[in-house]
Amino acid sequence: QIQTRGYSMPTLHHKDHTAVGCQASVATKYMETDDIVDLDWENLGFGLVDTDFMYMAKCGPDGNFSNGEILPFGPIALSPSAGVLNYGQGLFEGLKAYRKTDGYILLFRPEENAVRMKNGSDRMCMPAPSVEQFVDAVKQTVLANKRWVPPTGKGSLYIRPLLIGSGAILGLAPAPEYTFLIYVSPVGNYFKEGLAPINLIIEDNFHRAAPGGTGGVKTIGNYASVLKAQRTAKEKGYSDVLYLDAVHNKYLEEVSSCNIFVVKGNAISTPAIEGTILPGITRKSIIEVAESKGYKVNVGHQELIGSTI
């Protein structure tokens, strides 16, 4: 669905905001497109480029998030005793905005990220913004930074929502205050190979997630723990790590930051969502598109042997 309506730039202190309805895809009329940042768009990697604005909303013990504000991008203040710093009580999301040739900006299924954050917040004992609040906050942040959306075909504006236990807590318990924050950065391809195939190393020593753990939600703690295996893989010339299941050490799980599909002729197969892999929005979309194109999609245990990935 494409929503075509004019937006105005959010002001610096945009307090009186009312949530707007959420759409499967969101497009904004981009009439003032001439104002694009002068960057080396041909050589964008996946690194942080500081942009103009970020979004921030807070939530106290009542569980309700304040109306968020668009603020200048920059450092945030945290108590050394913040729950996120001491006990890793935090979630993040990742989605993208694209500039189309016809002058619109598109978001890819942002409400799916909102729902995933809500599901993760339950696992992490955190309150979460509503789906409408999340999608609206994403829209506000993208619009405030629209001059950083790369030209069509040159990349995308990566959007990084964060939900963190920002309140101070000493004993192990949920934090008394939470911060929902969104920042953005223009990016190119995640892997330096671009769309060319990448080499993955199968990891059978370290595991990313175990049954009953947090592999199925996008909590920050899932990521620091893969750095060691990822560093070893890169030292050996691989782009990333493909993890196996923690129980049998033989079924495919996922890569450090993406899901995996096995392709054999007209059939594509992917591991089931059983709590140890992230329910990727790309994965869900690929399944829907593949089925609509007549591919047979198998969802379940995938053994490594004889697979084309």
Ligand X SMILES: Cc1ncc(COP(=O)(O)O)c(C=O)c1O
Quote the least distance from Cβ 278 to ligand X, whole Å: 4
Quote the least distance from Cβ 261 to ligand X, whole Å: 12
> Of the residues 218, 236, 250, 284, which is catalytic?
218
**CB neighbours (10 Å) of residue 246?**
17
Q: Which is nearer to ligand X, 69 or 203 (CB)?
A: 203
Q: Which is nearer to ligand X, 259 or 302 (CB)?
A: 259
Q: Which is nearer to ligand X, 133 or 222 (CB)?
A: 222
Nearest CA-CA partner of 189 in 286, 65, 304, 96: 96
Which residues in this chain contact ligand X in the complex, by CB under 6 A? 94, 254, 257-259, 278, 280-283
Quote the least distance from Cβ 156 to ligand X, whole Å: 12
Q: Write the burial class of residue 179 (CB in 10 Å: 0-12 exposed, 13-18 middle, 19+ buried).
A: buried
3-state secondary structure of 165: strand
Q: Known catalytic residue: 139?
A: no
Quote the least distance from Cβ 243 to ligand X, whole Å: 9
Helices (H) and strands (E) in the chain, counts: 6, 14
Q: Which is nearer to ligand X, 15 or 228 (CB)?
A: 228
Residues 209 and 246: their CA atoms lie apart, in Å, by 7
| Contact criterion met (CB below 8 Å) for 271 and 260 | yes
> E-strand spans in the chain?
26-29, 53-59, 69-72, 90-92, 95-99, 104-107, 156-165, 178-187, 200-203, 240-244, 252-255, 262-264, 267-270, 296-299
What are the catalytic residues? 218
